[in-house]
Amino acid sequence: MNLRRTTTTRRALAAATLAVGLVLSMTACGGDSDKGEAKAAKSSAPAQQGSDEKPDSSASAANKTLAEVKGDGLTLAITSAERDQGGFLTVEGTVTNNTGKPWAVVDWRGDERELASNGGSMAGAALVDQAGKKKYLVLRDTQGRCLCTRFTGGVLNGATKDWYAQFPAPPEGTSKISLQVGAMPPASIDITEGD
């Protein structure tokens, strides 16, 4: 990872932390009820790196499905592909295991040596910009951990789990990309612009 990307990532994380602090301090000054403070704190908390927890799984289920692909008993649904002002693209969705057995997610972590420590995760996912002829890999921190979901313990048969993965954002004019994960067929999705 180059110094510029690391600096940009740190600035984005610092800005997000500052924004969360401001939101929490403003809601604390409102003083109407403790329920409002708890709700604001929950909705403004950023997702943890490499975590298998999502901010609110019911929120992603309520989102419209942008694309869905199936392969080997797995169903991968994409519910969001949002570009933010920091130059990142966050893709979210769900994966459902209908293989008849627990699924360990090993083939989704990627083949690079650096990704071996990411375990069962989305680390091997890639975005492909056909028009721009570019491939974008999942972002990683300075220790090689992906900025994506880790499926700790795998996915049990019949279970559905939320996932996310962050990528460098394609250029502003690019609105259609494909997501490729493991041996799953590519999923064509439209990018939306974030706040």
CA distances from 138 to 71, 116, 148 (A): 21, 14, 7
Query: Residue 69: its pLDDT value, please?
Result: 93
Q: Indicate the helix (H) or strand (E) that contains 11.
A: helix 3-30
Query: Residue 117: its pLDDT value, please?
Result: 67
pTM above 0.95, yes or no: no
Under DSSP, is residue 68 helix (H, G, I), strand (E, B) or coil?
A: strand
Query: Residue 132: its pLDDT value, please?
Result: 87
Query: Residue 103: its pLDDT value, please?
Result: 86
In the chain (195 residues long), the average pLDDT of successive 10-residue segments reads 54 54 43 39 38 43 79 92 91 94 80 68 89 91 86 90 94 91 90 81
Distance CA 31, CA 87 (A): 36
Query: Residue 15: its pLDDT value, please?
Result: 53
Closest among 50, 53, 168, 46 to 109, alpha carbons compared: 50
Q: Where are the beta strands (DSSP E) in the chain?
A: 67-71, 74-83, 88-97, 126-129, 134-137, 160-168, 176-180, 187-190, 192-193
Whether the CB-CB separation of 139 and 115 falls below 8 Å is answered with no
- 193 burial (CB, 10 Å; 0-12 / 13-18 / 19+) is exposed
Enumerate the domain spans of the chain. Answer: 3-44, 57-193
Handedness of CA 144, 148, 153, 157 (dihedral sign): negative
Query: Residue 134: its pLDDT value, please?
Result: 94
Query: Residue 9: its pLDDT value, please?
Result: 59
Second-level CATH architecture of 57-193? Sandwich (2.60)
